[in-house]
Structure 1
Amino acid sequence: MGGICSRKRDQQVIEDRVQRGVSGRYSRSSSSKWLGSSFSWPVADRRHGGVSCSSLLELCIYKIREDIENYGSFSMLPRDISQQIFNELVYSHRLTDTSLEAFRDCALQDVLLGEYPGVEDSWMDVISSQGLSLLAVDLSGSEVTDIGLALLKDCLNLQALTCNYCDHITQLGLMHISDLKHLKSLSFKKSDAVTAEGMRAFSSLASLEKLDLERCSEIHGGLVHLKGLMKLESLNIRCCKCIRDSDMKVLSGLTNLKELQISNTNITDSGVSYLRGLGKLHMLNLEGCNVTAECLDTLSALVALSYLNLNRCNISDDGCDKFSGLRNLKVLSLGFNNITDACLVHLKALTKLESLNLDSCRIGDEGLANLTGLPLLKSLDLSDTEVGSNGLSHLSGLTHLENLNLSFTLVTDGGLRRLSGLTSLKSLNLDARQITDAGLAFLTNLTGLMHLDLFGARISDRGTNYLRNLKNLHSLEICGGGLTDAGVKNIKDLASLKLLNLSQNYNLTDRTLEMLSGLTELVSLNVSNSRVTNEGLQYLKPLKNLRSLSLESCKVTASEIRKLQATALPNLVSFRAE
């Protein structure tokens, strides 16, 4: 589903889909009389589990949502109020082709209907009636065709248009947007309409700053039509397998480019060489391209580069000395490359580095010694490397480290003792069979942890006792361990939990669901492959924020979950049973 927040140029920012304050602009207007007569008794905000009270404006909008069939037009209301009513109907899936008619000529600014069901050409007449007020439209995944797209021709102030996965728009339909001279953002992900010839429609969009053509398979040769778009700052053509080195030559003249995503294309070192003159480029994604360390000759000239993704390329130790010249890098991804500790020697000079991905590289304990001089490092991925417990001693000085992935490494329980000083750690992945209860004992002082993944670790009831101090945990995964209901008793007071995965703990019963009933912040719960039954579902009724529930291979039926969804869990949108 698309976003639903309207622009509030003179009002407070909308958060959590509901405006948290009404502008004084309307406090003495006729709209206040309308509000006062619509709905005046207080009720609890259902989106917050009945804890906080809704504002009067929110209550009115909820009331309209429930009685939407009684309203013929909102055009007499202030635009911002009409916008919020529209947003609420989208969020609650109450917007239909009938109720949409009430928004004709309402001067809405944002019509964001991405992935909303039933959107088709018949909707476009009302959408286009917003005229010059309309600034952003998202039709992603809709049934809109060329005919519907043509109706936007009078919305000349449109700044953002998103038509991702719109299978019914053709190359001819693109010509209808060529007159939208104020467009700053345009997205046509995975669209057969965007061909080399179809891209001719983009050549007149001189104000365009962001263009997303991800997974468009017919654009080879079409980038030439971007030649005059000198304001273009962001271009995404990732997963466009048709792209060749020759396409990159056109981009060399787009000197305002700041972000370029060309991952999973057929670009080689030769194609990268055309980027040498893009002095403002600070983000470059080359993941999955057939480049080698030779391309670093070009990249070292891009002095503004702060983000570089070279995952799944053909990078080896040869030529890695060029990394030392990328002094402004903050994010570097080298995962799934044939590099060893010898490459890490050349990263010592990257003192601004905040994130480093070495997933599945041939990195060992000795190589980590080269990271000790990276004081700003916040995220480090060592998954599936040859790092062991001794290597963790080199991380002890990285006091800003917040995210650490040690899954499928050689780290044992004893090595976790070396993490005790990383008090800034918020996310820790310990997906490894050799981690047991004993290792968790060393994590008790990491009270800032918000995410802990113990998937595959051999954790028993005794081990969960060490988690009781981690009150800030937002997500916890303990899968395939030996937990029983007794172990869940140590988890039930982690009130901040939003995601909990206890799957493949075969001895958990309905008693587990009863103990989890107090975790009212839970958004996702997985207790698959357990002994939970239909009878235990009653204990989930207090979990009003639950959106995802998985109880596969349990004695639970989909029909009983649907009953629970209809009567007690209105926010539940995804579930698996049986």
Structure 2
Amino acid sequence: MKFALTLMLILILAMSNTTAGSDLEIIRSIGASWRQQGGIVVELKTDCTNFEDEHYQKLGQLTSLKSLSISGKNLSDHQLEMLSGLTELESILINGSELTDEGYHHFKAFQKLRTLSLFHPSRNCEGFTGAGLAYLKDLPKLERLTFAGATAGDEAFEAVGQISQLKEFRQWHNWESPNAIKHLVGLKHLESLQIGQRLPHRDSSLTPSFDNETLKTVAQIKSLKRLSFQEARLSASGLMQLQPLPNLEQIKLSLIDITKSDVETIKAAMPTVEVDWTPITEAEEEATLKKKLKI
């Protein structure tokens, strides 16, 4: 009996080592960096600039992965589908994609996913509105979502507003209107929110998507604990609208046009809230707020 158990352990270890060896062969063939845990590959980061479908097929064989970060080339619908076997994934970062709205349903394969970061998603892809983000509501463990640098606006925010399990949402440099933020009010579990400015684009209004008026809506999300604001012109009177938030612990301000005296007023009015302010320089205001964002 003892011999049989020992033999079984040896076989299990041998199979584990064989699997790990095969995984490393795949990783080396696609030129990725990785991290192992207990002899198993759990984290992978790769530049997909020279990837073809065969590389995504190989990537889809690394079924022990818990974290995946890919960039360098736009990911398509069918390439995302090729990764659907990575069911242990808890974190995905994609920098650059050409997913259609319907293509977002492929994310439903990752039922253990907790964090999804989408940078420059489907940028300049005709027909993409961001409505496909609504498919993410079927990921029960998804808590953190980043959506930044998209040529999509209010429909994307409306979709995010349906992902009721979210605890953290970060967004900046999209095409939303000032009304987009209102779609987030129904997120009853949201604890952390990062807001940046919309990017101006052809034939669009130059009205800022984020200003003091925005904060009136933010104050309706009573579950919020942490707020991070960037690229806007704010004042003490605007930020005072956040006082009623019962759980608020921290406000971060970066690339914000606000006076030092206004910041001191906020700190005095909300002594239990940590106000982390990095003053904007004249060069940053000129380059970012005026020239880039046109506010």
TM-score higher than 0.5? yes
Corresponding residue of 2:286:
none
Match status 1:317 vs 2:125: no
Give me the whole-angstrom Cα distance separating, in 2, the residues matched to 1:273 and 1:333: 21
Correspondence list, 1:497-516, <5 A? none
In the TM superposition, residue 383 of structure 1 has moved relative to its aligned partner by: 1.5
Match status 1:447 vs 2:255: no
Does the CA-based 8 Å contact 2:113-2:139 persist in structure 1? yes
Match status 1:262 vs 2:75: no
2:212 maps to a residue whose letter is: S
Corresponding residue of 1:283:
91
Give me the whole-angstrom Cα distance separating, in 2, the residues matched to 1:244 and 1:266: 11
The 3-state SS of whatever aligns with 2:182 is: helix
The 3-state SS of whatever aligns with 1:277 is: coil
- Residues 314-334 of structure 1: CA deviation (Å, up to 9, x unaligned): 154254243443443211111
Give me the whole-angstrom Cα distance separating, in 1, the residues matched to 2:164 and 2:131: 20
1:377 maps to a residue whose letter is: L
2:41 maps to a residue whose letter is: L
In the TM superposition, residue 372 of structure 1 has moved relative to its aligned partner by: 1.7
1:278 maps to a residue whose letter is: L
Give me the whole-angstrom Cα distance separating, in 2, the residues matched to 1:302 and 1:446: 41
Q: Choose the corresponding residue for 2:172, options 340, 343, 359.
A: 359
In the TM superposition, residue 266 of structure 1 has moved relative to its aligned partner by: 4.8
Match status 1:393 vs 2:211: no
2:20 maps to a residue whose letter is: A
Give me the whole-angstrom Cα distance separating, in 2, the residues matched to 1:410 and 1:425: 22
Correspondence list, 1:186-225, <5 A? 204=18, 206=20, 219-220=29-30
- CA change 1:443–1:341 in 2 (3 A) is farther
In the TM superposition, residue 344 of structure 1 has moved relative to its aligned partner by: 1.3
- Residues 503-528 of structure 1: CA deviation (Å, up to 9, x unaligned): xxxxxxxxxxxxxxxxxxxxxxxxxx
2:166 maps to a residue whose letter is: L
- Residues 223-259 of structure 1: CA deviation (Å, up to 9, x unaligned): 8xxxxxx94332222x353333321112333333222
- CA change 1:428–1:270 in 2 (3 A) is same
Give me the whole-angstrom Cα distance separating, in 2, the residues matched to 1:375 and 1:427: 19
Does the CA-based 8 Å contact 1:243-1:267 persist in structure 2? no
Does the CA-based 8 Å contact 2:63-2:87 persist in structure 1? yes
Corresponding residue of 1:372:
185
Corresponding residue of 1:349:
162
Does the CA-based 8 Å contact 2:234-2:257 persist in structure 1? no
Correspondence list, 1:20-35, <5 A? none
- CA change 1:448–1:404 in 2 (3 A) is same
Q: Choose the corresponding residue for 1:403, options 205, 226, 229.
A: 226
- CA change 1:417–1:314 in 2 (3 A) is same
In the TM superposition, residue 355 of structure 1 has moved relative to its aligned partner by: 1.7
Does the CA-based 8 Å contact 1:358-1:383 persist in structure 2? yes
TM-score, normalised with respect to structure 1:
0.38
1:371 maps to a residue whose letter is: L
- Residues 143-175 of structure 1: CA deviation (Å, up to 9, x unaligned): xxxxxxxxxxxxxxxxxxxxxxxxxxxxxxxxx
Corresponding residue of 1:241:
49
In the TM superposition, residue 351 of structure 1 has moved relative to its aligned partner by: 2.2
Root-mean-square deviation over aligned CA pairs: 3.6
Q: Which runs of 5+ in 2 are unaligned?
A: 1-12, 33-38, 199-208, 283-295
Match status 1:250 vs 2:58: yes
Give me the whole-angstrom Cα distance separating, in 2, the residues matched to 1:333 and 1:376: 16
In the TM superposition, residue 290 of structure 1 has moved relative to its aligned partner by: 4.1
1:370 maps to a residue whose letter is: H
Does the CA-based 8 Å contact 1:324-1:348 persist in structure 2? no
2:118 maps to a residue whose letter is: L
With a CA cutoff of 8 Å and minimum separation of 6, indicate the structure with the bigger relative contact order. 2
The 3-state SS of whatever aligns with 1:317 is: coil
Give me the whole-angstrom Cα distance separating, in 2, the residues matched to 1:209 and 1:398: 44
- CA change 1:373–1:248 in 2 (3 A) is same
User: How many aligned positions are there?
Assistant: 248
1:401 maps to a residue whose letter is: L
Corresponding residue of 1:304:
112
TM-score, normalised with respect to structure 2:
0.69
- CA change 1:257–1:347 in 2 (3 A) is same
- CA change 1:424–1:340 in 2 (3 A) is same
Does the CA-based 8 Å contact 2:235-2:262 persist in structure 1? no
The 3-state SS of whatever aligns with 1:243 is: coil
Give me the whole-angstrom Cα distance separating, in 2, the residues matched to 1:430 and 1:279: 37
Give me the whole-angstrom Cα distance separating, in 1, the residues matched to 2:153 and 2:74: 26
Give me the whole-angstrom Cα distance separating, in 2, the residues matched to 1:283 and 1:390: 34
The 3-state SS of whatever aligns with 2:183 is: helix
Does the CA-based 8 Å contact 2:131-2:155 persist in structure 1? no
Corresponding residue of 1:3:
none
Does the CA-based 8 Å contact 2:62-2:86 persist in structure 1? yes
Q: Which runs of 5+ in 1 are unaligned?
A: 1-180, 185-202, 224-229, 457-478, 481-578
Does the CA-based 8 Å contact 1:265-1:289 persist in structure 2? yes
Corresponding residue of 1:415:
238
Corresponding residue of 2:253:
429
- Residues 415-458 of structure 1: CA deviation (Å, up to 9, x unaligned): 111122345232411532255624642342433444512422xx
The 3-state SS of whatever aligns with 1:233 is: strand
Give me the whole-angstrom Cα distance separating, in 2, the residues matched to 1:446 and 1:244: 54
- CA change 1:374–1:210 in 2 (3 A) is farther
